[in-house]
Structure 1
Amino acid sequence: MKTVLVIEDEKELRESIVEMLTFEGYRVTAAPDGVEGIMKARELVPDLILCDILMPRMNGYEVLGELKKDLTTAMVPFIFLTALSDQNKIRQGMNTGADDYIVKPFLRKELLEAIESRLEKSALYKGYADQNLEKLRRNIISFLPHELVTPLNSIISFGEIIKDHASVLSASELSEMGDFIFQSGKRFYDLIQKYLLYIRFAVNKQSGKQEEVCTNPRTVILETANQIAESCQRQDDLSIDVSDFPLDISEEELQIIVRELTDNAFKFSMPGAKVSITGSPANGTYEIMVSDHGRGIPKETFRQVGAFMQFDREKYEQQGIGLGLFLVRQIAELNQGGIEIQSEPEQGTQVIARIPMTAKH
């Protein structure tokens, strides 16, 4: 049985709605004002809230704003009951996060259809979220232990060989094993750093960030991309054409965007295939486009960019925990920008990161 909370200061209307919804099989709780309504919403966490706009003590906009701040009530479907026919006022309610509105006086059928529609949509969202959560759980269980253990195994194994047989190993053998240990340690370090960045930017997205400006993006992009190309031994495959404009983003964040996109482009394309990076103003923002001619990303999956999500992990061996592209999106959105992915299987991928330029530009 679904629970509906009715927040309405007009006693007759409130009681009428309660009686109507109870008859239809809903469990109904009512509150005569916004303050009590918030208390009951947090206590009960109903399946849907009907709320008047013009009320004493706290109006409907304020009620919605308070409930959106609370993670336990933020996703509860919220429908305004309003006598206001002013479109600007109605738009204000929708802009604050309301799911729907009903203008008084309303018919029984209108109210019931609105409630049923929002509950159905909420169930669909929940089902989709549950699917993603289950996929995330499977991904973490299946490959996170592997990514953590593999470099550690290499470090331990080669370290043990050197410890037990150092006296009989040649200089070249020691150098080769030392290189394996170094690369494995670096892989493990990069993994931990990426996870820490994920936590940090997730926190920043909740709490906001200080405004910072990168005054030399061309230098940052060139240096970062070339470092990745060198580490992949694909310097000849990289082409860069970027212009210089001050950007509303920190130098560190820009480095992360370029590093992750360039690394992905090399990771998902074969040696000899070109990877290009361009950067220039477009439509009021600065667009960084990283293009490769690799295997591409299926359209049904690149809309699901998220933490610990990898593309076609079952078909292709790949390192990492699926945080790179997610970090890029988090950073871009944190700086009032965004990303766009264009891809065709077996033809290649373009990822565009849009970053605001400083006001004077």
Structure 2
Amino acid sequence: MTTILVIEDEVLLREEIVELLELEGFQVASAEDGVTGVQRAKELLPDLIICDVLMPGLDGHGVLSQLRQEPATALSPFIFLTAKNTLEDFRQGMKLGADDYIVKPFKRTDLLEAIATRLTKQNLILQLQQKIETLNQSNLEKDDFLNTASHELRNPVTNILMAIQMLKKAPTKERLQRYLEVLQAESNRELELINDLLDLQRLETDSYHANVETIKLQDWIPAIAEPFQIRAQARQQILQINVSPYLPAIAADSANLKRMLAELLNNACKYTAPSGKIALEVYRAPHASATSSVSSLIMLVVSNEADIPDAALPRLFDKFYRVPNGDRWQQGGSGLGLTLVEKIVRRLNGAIQVTSEAGWTQFTVQFPTS
């Protein structure tokens, strides 16, 4: 509710203005003099202030001067009430930062129109400030992203250049083979990072259009999970897959859906110790909201035997974030996998949660069936 502060030393006029504004639906506070008005303005931070000019002690000009020096009230809309109708008086008030003048005696409509005009202008100013703050924050995030991305891109290139130099001086075939392997690994790492950056940009742009098709998950998931079964077996890991046969067909971008599932399974395989367990479960759950048009949800849960510190959980989907000491087997990665997962889940109109307790980490994705 909009709050208006009325500062007026004439009791009858003050009460009439308060009553009028309350009948119009405003929340109204009042003060009988300038000193009290300044104190109440600092306490309440009203959306608009109406103040008499001629008051004993601290007059209206003094009130406005003090409030304009306070950061919290510097931009508060301020309307003067005055019995003086001279150009000099108007100029003095405007110089101090008054937004409007109403000359006594005034009509009810004059006051309400002045209030409506000031509040509309103030709302526009606040919206503009929010946009500026959003743009500033976006620029800071962009700069931080570019700095981090350039750093991440330099690392593989540096290793590639070093490997090339060492190849020229390789004393044995074994050393030659080793440097070729480094070149291959770092080239793959650079390519993965570039592809992830391009995919991230594609998902974040408003012009992105999904290639939606009908997918039967119970038929589609086993093929996507098969390479991870082979990978898990090679590392003596146990990957259990349980997909409900009663899932409804869904409409989704299959490329995005495949990328999301592959990233989650890749993450699980990467951070699970040899002989550890990994589980993929997909099932249909009733929707909790009775008012929603969505009758049920698809639940996709990827779990693995691994612990993630509580402090790291809120940052898992941040760009380039890696859990400290999490990659115990030095398998590398772009640091963008889970960021891409979250973006894809949003594109599916779904939600994702992560928990880590009792030796297990669990990613739960839910998205509507309709």
TM-score tier, shorter chain, comes to: 0.5 to 0.7
1:256 corresponding residue in structure 2: 259
Q: Does the 8 Å CA contact 1:213/1:246 hold for their aligned counterparts? A: no
The residue type paired with residue 368 of structure 2 is: P
Whichever residue aligns with residue 48 of structure 2, its letter is: V
Q: CA deviation at 1:294?
A: 1.0
> Within 2, Cα distance between the matches of 1:305 and 1:209?
26
Q: SS in structure 1 opposite 2:76?
A: strand
Query: Hey, what does 2:273 align to over in structure 1?
Result: 270
Q: Secondary structure at the match of 1:195?
A: helix
2:221 paired residue number:
221
For the aligned residue pairs, the C-alpha RMSD in angstroms reads 4.4
CA drift of 1:191 comes to 1.2
Would you say the 8 A contact 1:217–1:254 is kept in 2? no
Match of 1:334 among 331, 347, 354: 347
- Give the drift of 1:321: 4.7
Q: Which residue of 1 aligns with 2:153?
A: 148
Aligned partner of 1:285 among 277, 290, 297: 297
Taking structure 2 as the reference length, the TM-score comes to: 0.56
Equivalent-residue separation in structure 2 for 1:293 and 1:147 (angstroms): 29
Unaligned runs of 5+ residues in structure 2 are 5-16, 29-46, 52-62, 68-72, 78-98, 100-112, 287-295
User: Relative to 1, partners in 2 of residues 1:246 and 1:147: Cα closer, same or farther, differing over 3 Å?
Assistant: same
Amino acid at match of 2:360: G
Query: In structure 2, what is the Cα distance between the partners aligned to 1:195 and 1:252?
Result: 16
Q: How does 1:169-188 map to 2 (within 5 A)?
A: 169-170=172-173, 174-188=176-190
Q: Would you say the 8 A contact 1:5–1:46 is kept in 2?
A: no
**Residue by residue, what CA displacement relative to the aligned partner does 1:300-354 show, whole Å, maximum 9, x if unpaired?**
442344432635426766634532222212211222111121211x602010111
User: Are the equivalent residues in 2 in contact too, given 1:276–1:291 (CA < 8 A)?
Assistant: yes
Q: Which residue of 2 aligns with 1:192?
A: 194
**Identity level (%):** 20
* Residue 246, structure 1, aligned to residue 241, structure 2: no
SS of residue in 2 equivalent to 1:270: coil
Q: Distance in 2 between matches of 1:236 and 1:316?
A: 17
Query: Which deviations, in whole Å up to 9, do the C-alpha atoms of 1:256-311 show, x marking residues without a partner?
Result: 1112111221232212111111112122121111000112341x442344432635
Cα deviation for residue 201 of structure 1 reads 1.3
Q: Could you tell me whether the CA contact under 8 Å between 2:271 and 2:327 is conserved in 1?
A: no
The structure whose Rg is larger is 2
Distance verdict in 2 for CA 1:320–1:241, change over 3 Å: same
Residues 5 and 41 in structure 1, CA contact (< 8 A), matched pair in contact too: no
| Aligned counterparts of 2:119 and 2:133: Cα–Cα separation in 1 | 12
Report which stretch shifted further, 174-183 or 31-40.
31-40
SS of 1:213 mapped into structure 2? strand
Matching residue of 2:106: none
Q: How many residues align?
A: 265
